[in-house]
Amino acid sequence: MLVLDTVSYRYAGAAGDAVTKISLDLRDQEVVGLVGANESGKSTVCLVASGLAPRAIGGVLGGRVLIDGADVAGRPIHELVGTVGICFQNPETQLSGVTETVFEEVAFGPANLGIDRDELVRRTGEALETLGIQGLARRDPRRLSGGQMQLVALAGLLALQPRYLVLDEPTAQLDPAGTRLVGEALQALAQRGSAILIAEHKTDLLAGLCGRIAVLQRGELAMLGGAQEVLADDRLEGLGIAAPVQGRLQRRIDALGLAATSIAPEPGR
Amino acid sequence: MNEPGPEGPLEAPRADSPYHRLNPLTKAVSATVTGIAALVLGGVIGPALLTLVAVIIPAAIAGVLRVLVRTTLLLSLPIGISAVLVNVFFFPAGRDVLLRVGPITATGEGLSLALEVLARILAISGAITLFYLTTRPSDFVADLEHRGVSSRLAFVANASAQTVPQMLERAGSIVAAQRARGLDTEGSIVRRLRALPPLVGPVILGTLGEVEERTMALEARGFSRPGRRTLLRIPADSGVQRLTRWLLVGGLSVLAASRILGVPG
């Protein structure tokens, strides 16, 4: 289990904490959503959970980050990559920039770990297959669509075989087609039992994906509970979060006193 | 250019020829030796013959002759033209006057020196272009890593080589975006210079802005781990190529020594 235990974090040179006393856990085979308005601290929680803050970017960390009960403070980042992997918003900046094929790009991470070559090829092929992008293996990663590029970044993460995936708004810079592509891949990962912490504005995506959802407000944990319960909470809009379309529609139907069946779309439409 | 040839399942489609298939280090040594030898040889005939043997013929074998000629001329022309002008018209010890235009005199000595300089420039840029056209950066880097060069150093070299086209692409997008917003990027030099700041600023700031996220993404993929990386493929090498490399380096050393010692040749 990955645990953030009363975690506070202040960026280097910042006057105040970006997140304050956040306590959150990610159990094995669980998907936890992280929502909140801009600047609410979602990305910071992702950086702390992945171990990049403060190791890679400096700053001051308060509280503890535990993996299976052991504090990971002081462990170098390269020791954590096989345990926690992180995927960022911008697919382009996640490419190494030095590879000429998707296969090489996905293999870049595990190659850094110095694993056996056959194992490297096996892991890379498996990651591509998991996300259904074997067909892209020989394509130039810089010539893909945003959604495809994000899937390649995700495959690069999977090839490292981390137990916990931390995804920081993986669809934020994608068009609807790209969002659908990544959303389907995340569904497949969740069904395979991957443990995922996902920060996301698109609550429709989270509704069908997460078991629990945490809501952040100005760096503090405002709500934490079952996904259905949190996403149906009336306070969401006040926190700057748009509830899923289905929930908003239901509330509107209820307010108008209509029967839901009267406007339900016909199957297949 | 040749049609894409047979590749392994992990490799990108690429042109294929016996020259393409040479080990990247062999091609790098050949390019380096050609460039230095052109400088050492002097004259016009030596560098011209060298260019024919070490650049033109291999380029023809590799099927890249046309693109090589075009790229080499593009690379060489700015510096070549200025070198010719300076040497032809401003050669201080020139006595054989070919042409006089006001206070400027073109001399025969200046012309022959200009041709020498031009021959060297063409040999050097041709050799570099041939290497670039027939070698994938990732192959060269993998080969260097295999020979013990630090993977970080190899990454920096590779990333630097690949950053240029990426920045050009970004610049193209920004130029298009700024044009769409009414910025005039064509016309007189003054007008073009005036259009530069709104174009250069976003290119540089955008690139710098991505550095932190790119660095974090690399860290998250184990880039900082000490020790050797696993190489997905190692470019093939052979005893003949090893011998050829040593012969090229040895030959260059003999040539340089003979020039320094003044041995006629």
- Chain A residues touching B229 at Cβ < 8 A: 111-112, 114
| CA-to-CA separations, B208 to A159, B202, B205, B248, in angstroms, rounded | 28, 10, 5, 42
pLDDT at B7: 45
Search chain A and give the residue with CA nearest B214.
Answer: A93
Position B5 confidence tier, pLDDT thresholds 50, 70, 90 = very low
pLDDT in tens, A89-126: 888 888 988 888 999 999 999 999 999 999 999 999 99
Residues 6+ apart with CB under 8 A from A91: A146, A149, A150, A152, A153, A173, A174
Chain A and chain B share a number of CB contacts under 8 A equal to: 116
B217 touches chain A (CB under 8 A): yes
How many other CB atoms sit within 10 Å of the CB of residue A182?
25
B222 touches chain A (CB under 8 A): yes
Residues 6+ apart with CB under 8 A from B95: B107, B109
Which among B166, B222, B229 is the nearest to A97, CB-wise? B166
3-state secondary structure of B152: helix
Position B194 confidence tier, pLDDT thresholds 50, 70, 90 = confident
| Number of domains, chain B | 2
Domains in chain A (CATH in brackets) are 28-55+75-262 (3.40.50.300)
User: What is the amino acid identity at position A193?
Assistant: G
Q: Do A111 and B230 touch (CB under 8 A)?
A: yes
Q: Give the up-direction half-sphere exposure of residue A175: CA atoms within 13 A in the CB hemisphere.
A: 4
A161: left (phi over 0), alpha (psi -120 to 50) or beta: left
Search chain B and give the residue with CA nearest A109.
Answer: B221
As a whole number, mean pLDDT of residues A163-192 equals: 85
Q: Which residue has the higher pLDDT, A238 or A118?
A: A118
Contact B61, B19 (CB under 8 A): yes
In angstroms, the separation between the Cα of residue A252 and the nearest Cα of chain B is 41
Q: Give the up-direction half-sphere exposure of residue A234: CA atoms within 13 A in the CB hemisphere.
A: 2
Judged against a pLDDT cut of 70, whether residue A268 lies above it is answered with no
pLDDT at B4: 35
Is B66 within a domain?
yes
pLDDT at B6: 38
Q: Give the up-direction half-sphere exposure of residue A9: CA atoms within 13 A in the CB hemisphere.
A: 29
As a whole number, mean pLDDT of residues B156-181 equals: 74
Say how far apart CA B225 and CA B219 lie, in whole Å: 9
pLDDT at B3: 34
Residues B79 and B45 placed together within one structural domain of the fold: yes
The three-state (H, E, C) secondary structure of chain A, written as one string: CEEEEEEEEECCCCCCCCEEEEEEEECCCCEEEEEECCCCCHHHHHHHHHCHHHHCCCCEEEEEEEECCEECCCCCHHHHCCCEEEECCCCHHHCCCCCCCHHHHHHHHHHHCCCCHHHHHHHHHHHHHHCCCHHHCCCCHHHCCHHHHHHHHHHHHHCCCCCEEEEECCCCCCCHHHHHHHHHHHHHHHHCCCEEEEECCCHHHHHCCCCEEEEEECCEEEEEEEHHHHHCCCCCHHHCCCCCHHHHHHHHHHHHCCCHHHCCCCCCC
- Chain A residues touching B138 at Cβ < 8 A: 98-100, 104
Residues B107 and B67 placed together within one structural domain of the fold: yes
Judged against a pLDDT cut of 90, whether residue B113 lies above it is answered with no
Is B206 within a domain?
yes
Residues B175 and B157 placed together within one structural domain of the fold: yes
Position B31 confidence tier, pLDDT thresholds 50, 70, 90 = very high
pLDDT in tens, B92-110: 776 777 777 777 777 888 8
Search chain A and give the residue with CA nearest B210.
Answer: A93
Give which of A79, A98, A121, A143 to mutate to test B binding, by max B Cβ within 10 Å.
Answer: A98
Judged against a pLDDT cut of 50, whether residue A35 lies above it is answered with yes
pLDDT in tens, A156-175: 999 998 999 999 998 887 88
Which among B136, B212, B221 is the nearest to A109, CB-wise? B221
Judged against a pLDDT cut of 60, whether residue A78 lies above it is answered with yes
Is B228 within a domain?
no
Which among B158, B212, B220 is the nearest to A86, CB-wise? B220
DSSP label at B231?
Answer: P
Q: What percentage of chain A exceeds 70 in pLDDT?
A: 96
Residues B79 and B191 placed together within one structural domain of the fold: no
Q: Do B224 and A77 touch (CB under 8 A)?
A: yes
Q: Which residues of B2-36 are buried (b: 16+ CB within 10 A; e: fewer)?
A: eeeeeeeebbbeebbbebbebbbbbbbbbbbbbbb
Q: Edge to edge, what strands does the sheet with A2-10 contain?
A: A19-26, A2-10, A60-67, A70-71
Q: Which residue has the higher pLDDT, B246 or B96?
A: B246
As a whole number, mean pLDDT of residues A123-148 equals: 91
Domain containing B207 equals: 144-219
DSSP label at B92?
Answer: T
Residues B131 and B256 placed together within one structural domain of the fold: yes
Q: Which residue has the higher pLDDT, B233 or A24?
A: A24
Structure tokens at A157: 């993460």
Is B233 within a domain?
no
Residues B152 and B131 placed together within one structural domain of the fold: no
Which among B137, B212, B222 is the nearest to A112, CB-wise? B222
Search chain A and give the residue with CA nearest B8.
Answer: A138
- Chain B residues touching A76 at Cβ < 8 A: 224
Is B210 within a domain?
yes
Is B67 within a domain?
yes
Residues B31 and B100 placed together within one structural domain of the fold: yes
In angstroms, the separation between the Cα of residue B214 and the nearest Cα of chain A is 5
Residues B48 and B85 placed together within one structural domain of the fold: yes
Residues B54 and B130 placed together within one structural domain of the fold: yes
Position B13 confidence tier, pLDDT thresholds 50, 70, 90 = low
- Chain B residues touching A50 at Cβ < 8 A: 220
- Chain A residues touching B12 at Cβ < 8 A: 100-101, 138, 140
Is B81 within a domain?
yes
Q: Residue with structure tokens 């020039």?
A: B259
Q: At A12, give phi and psi (nearest 5°).
A: -55, 125
Is B154 within a domain?
yes
B230 touches chain A (CB under 8 A): yes
Strands A220-226 and A212-217: antiparallel
Q: In chain B, which among 75-104 make CB contacts under 8 A with chain A?
A: none
Search chain B and give the residue with CA nearest A93.
Answer: B214
Residues 6+ apart with CB under 8 A from B262: none
The runs of H, that is alpha helices, within B135-238 are 137-146, 151-180, 189-219
pLDDT in tens, B34-76: 999 999 998 899 999 999 999 999 999 999 999 999 989 988 8
pLDDT at A258: 76
Residues B129 and B151 placed together within one structural domain of the fold: no
Q: Do B220 and A77 touch (CB under 8 A)?
A: yes
In angstroms, the separation between the Cα of residue A90 and the nearest Cα of chain B is 9
Is the pTM for the entire model greater than 0.80? no
Position B1 confidence tier, pLDDT thresholds 50, 70, 90 = very low
Q: Which residues pair with A7 in a beta bridge?
A: A22
Residues B128 and B39 placed together within one structural domain of the fold: yes
Q: Residue with structure tokens 């936890």?
A: A32
> Is the ipTM of this structure higher than 0.90?
no
Position A43 confidence tier, pLDDT thresholds 50, 70, 90 = very high
Structure tokens at A1: 């289990």
Position A250 confidence tier, pLDDT thresholds 50, 70, 90 = confident
Least confident of A252-261, B75-84, B230-239: A252-261
Q: Is the peptide bond before B24 cis (omega within 30 degrees of 0)?
A: no
Residues B28 and B131 placed together within one structural domain of the fold: yes
DSSP label at B11?
Answer: S
Search chain A and give the residue with CA nearest B11.
Answer: A138
Helix (H) or strand (E) holding B101: strand B97-101
